[in-house]
Amino acid sequence: MIPADPAEGHRTIAGTFTQRVRGVAGDAWDAQSPVQEWQARDVVRHLVEWFPHFLAGGSDIKLEPGPSVDDDPIGAWEQHAAAVQAVLDDPANSTTTFAHPHLPEMPLPQAVSRFYTNDVFMHTWDLARATGQDDRLDVDRCRELYEGMVPIEEVLRQSGQYGARVPVPDDADWQAKLLGFIGRDPGWRPATPG
């Protein structure tokens, strides 16, 4: 079970993603991911590149850039994840208001959890599946995200951040339902050479 507290939730979810990052074999960083335009390293690139701009757009917090994802994807991720965790662990930020021009105002920890930590959670499957690692996600979190996104599907689709829904059987598990909803084929596997 993933803790509801934003700092602890991030610690758990980012910790799992860190395990998958560290588990990538050296030559697997160029492996195709379930996102057609991305290789495995691009999953990390996406997370370390979009969030600092988002965070700065709604607060005075600036994250220091880490190593290049091309040169050191593990180092890039680890520095980034530690910086985000430090933001969430800082008591001063617990009462900070996140005021992004495209979103309603909300507490900073809630914004990080809702928009970023959930993104890390979903992309854990992408990295794991691309690189042949354990791709099981927390079932309760999958259900919570799926049930929370279905009522706002039209808004989410219009945002352009999710691909077309991939149909899954009615009796699919929560992970498969979530993956299908966000535009992933739960049965996707990397092409095997030959």
Q: Confidence band (pLDDT; 50, 70, 90) for 154?
A: confident
- Contact in structure between 44 and 71 (CB atoms under 8 Å): no
The pTM assigned to this predicted structure is: 0.94
Amino acid at 93: N
Triad 48, 49, 51: Cα angle to 5°: 75
The percentage of the chain sitting over the pLDDT mark of 70, rounded to a whole number, equals 98
Q: What's the distance, CA 104 to chain centroid?
A: 21
Q: What are 58-90's pLDDT values in tens digits? A: 999 999 999 999 999 999 999 999 999 999 999
The mean pLDDT value of the chain amounts to 94
Least Cα distance to 180 among 166, 170, 169 occurs for 166
Which amino acid is it at 73?
P
**pLDDT tens digits along 115-152:** 999 999 999 999 999 999 999 999 999 999 999 999 98
Backbone angles phi, psi at 98, to 5 degrees: -90, 115
Buried b (16+ CB within 10 A) or exposed e, 13-25: bbebbbebbeebe
